[in-house]
Amino acid sequence: MTLHLASTAPHVHAASTFDVDMVDWAGHQHPLDGCSRNRGRLLFKGEDGLPEAGIWRATPGSWRPMLPADELCYFTAGRATYRSDGGEVIDIAPGTLVHFKEGWQGEAEITETIFVTYMFSEGGPAAATPVLRDPATLSGLEDWGVVPTMITGTSKVSGLVLSAEPDGRAESGVWACTPGKWRCTVTSDEFCHFLAGRATYVHDSGDVIEIAPDTAAFFRRGWTGTCTVHQTVRKIYLIR
């Protein structure tokens, strides 16, 4: 369990179970029963508050979420139920990926402490909340072709888009890549939670980011370097 906040891509290993030097984030802004408490650690937060990415824990209780921006949540432990004011019901179990859209409001009831990796981002409203179960084992990913900037090997990419705004903001989904080495240029801020595989990202400055299963990372727009995929990687992501 190690946080690498000074990295060119702030990241944490064993993100699902990370529990070192967690910060008390107190109660919720709109509590219903006043019992649920928050703890967490930030990986990154923009100067204007967005994007924000990190690790979040919340104990049993209930409150009213009222989201001014999009929020991608990957629930790695715990159980909860989110009920929107429009009647939508989202049952949360380990391995649930939810892209809450801007303006979502309703009630959240936690019955078992939830462990979450997340990112807030500019986005937009939607009639329904995109939900994906068990992205680590999801089959039938779409063929997205070969990485166009290969250095050695032939890395094939596949994926599934969970949600995306028409102008490209707040795109979330699942992404997989087979072994190979390629030039990497990050064109949008991106939060990743790697579910499987191993890779090494090397920034042009020489900074090295080692990726293993259960690594959560935030790559800022403009990050440049190389990526060597040693074993096929799969991740959930949100880009803005």
- Whether 106 and 158 map to the same domain: the answer is no
- Whether 146 and 231 map to the same domain: the answer is yes
pLDDT at res. 2: 82
Task: Please check the confidence at residue 230 and state whether its pLDDT lies above 80.
Answer: yes
- Whether 49 and 123 map to the same domain: the answer is yes
pLDDT in tens, 164-213: 999 888 999 999 999 999 999 999 999 999 999 999 999 999 999 999 99
107 within 8 A of 62, measured Cβ to Cβ: yes
- Whether 128 and 147 map to the same domain: the answer is no
Amino acid at 114: I
Task: Please check the confidence at residue 1 and state whether its pLDDT lies above 80.
Answer: no
Task: Please check the confidence at residue 34 and state whether its pLDDT lies above 90.
Answer: no
204 phi/psi in degrees, rounded to 5 = -60, -20
Percentage, residues of the chain above pLDDT 90: 96
| Residues 215-229 as b or e (16 or more Cβ within 10 Å = b) | bbbbbeeebebebbb
Shortest CA distance to 233 belongs to which of 181, 171, 186? 181
Does the pTM of the predicted model rise above 0.75?
yes
Out of 133, 162, 186, pick the residue that ends a domain: 133
pLDDT at res. 208: 98
- Whether 157 and 129 map to the same domain: the answer is no
Residue 18 belongs to domain with CATH number = 2.60.120.10
Percentage, residues of the chain above pLDDT 70: 100
- Whether 65 and 153 map to the same domain: the answer is no
> How many domains are contained in the chain?
2
Out of 104, 133, 162, pick the residue that ends a domain: 133
- Whether 29 and 128 map to the same domain: the answer is yes
- Whether 197 and 167 map to the same domain: the answer is yes
pLDDT in tens, 125-168: 999 999 999 999 999 999 999 999 999 999 999 999 999 999 88
pLDDT at res. 220: 97
pLDDT at res. 168: 80
* Domain that residue 86 falls in: 3-133
- Whether 47 and 90 map to the same domain: the answer is yes
- Whether 111 and 175 map to the same domain: the answer is no
Instruction: Select the more confidently predicted residue: 20 or 235.
Output: 235
- Whether 228 and 116 map to the same domain: the answer is no
| Residues 117-139 as b or e (16 or more Cβ within 10 Å = b) | bbbbbebbebeebbbbeebbebe
- Whether 120 and 166 map to the same domain: the answer is no
